[in-house]
Amino acid sequence: MGKVYVFDHPLIQHKVAIMREKGTSVKDFRELAKEVAMLMGFEATRDLPLEEVEIETPICKTKVNMLKGEDIAIIPILRAGLGFVDGMLALVPNAKVGHVGLYRDPETHEPVEYYCKLPKDIEKRRIFVVDPMLATGGSAVAAIDFIKKRGGSHITFMCLIAAPEGIEALQKAHPDIDIFIAAKDDHLNDDAYIVPGLGDAGDRLYGTK
């Protein structure tokens, strides 16, 4: 069974708290999403493999650890997942970026796929699926289904805020993946929004609504 990591780092808690406030501007929300993605990505990439290589400092030759050059794919779930891409790319600039487009049907709350474009060699890549919100879990489960059908296997899921219902659904459907969460909230309301949450992450990132 994959693990669930909930961040208790004060910087992450503080930034997520500002993102939750309804008066936070679109500009600040977007910048904070990038910063939180970097802080979370730092931890989520902790198990990337290293290799020992010889280099020469101005003083002498020495052996140092460098990233083994593992191929990484960052896959945002459109559209709100895009808010995490720049922060992750700041950490792993050579990663390729795939996109899975899903929206929740407002009546049924079921995910509807409208786009999927992944790196060709997805089966060889370490994959980070990113989306700020894990509510019912329907979107994350469907996105990871699509990725697995196209050959992806070593997958980590990262989100800002998760409801217990979403964590349970994702673990049940995909018990092999690790889940990184900045904050675990209380429950879902009748419209399947996370309570207390931060509202509609896509609208808050892009100033729509």
Axis-axis angle for helices 138-149, 164-173 (nearest 10): 20
Question: Is 200 tagged catalytic?
Answer: yes
In the range 129-158, which residues lie near ligand URA by CB under 6 A? 133, 135
The response to whether 25 counts as a known ligand-binding position is no
Q: Which of residues 171-200 bind ligand PRP (CB under 6 A)?
A: 192, 200
121 marked as binding residue:
no
| Binding-residue pattern over the window 187 to 206 for ligand URA, x denoting contact by CB under 6 A | ------xx--x--xxx----
C-alpha distances in Å from residue 136, one per residue of 115, 140, 171, 190: 20, 9, 12, 11
Identity of the amino acid at 72: I
Residues 116 and 101: beta-carbon distance below 8 Å: yes
Among 134, 161, 179, 181, binds ligand PRP (CB under 6 A): 134
Report the site for ligand PRP in 141-160 (rule: CB under 6 A).
none
Crossing angle of helices 10-20 and 26-44, in 10° steps, is 150
Q: Which two tokens stand for residue 55?
A: 């280099």
CA-based end-to-end distance of the chain? 39
Measured from the CB atom, is 98 or 197 closer to ligand URA? 197
104 is catalytic: yes
Q: What's 135's DSSP letter? A: S
Residues acting as catalytic residues: 104, 108, 200, 203
- Judged by the rule CB under 6 A, the positions of this chain that interact with ligand URA are 80, 133, 135, 193-194, 197, 200-202
Binding residues for 5-phospho-alpha-D-ribose 1-diphosphate: 79, 104, 131-139, 200
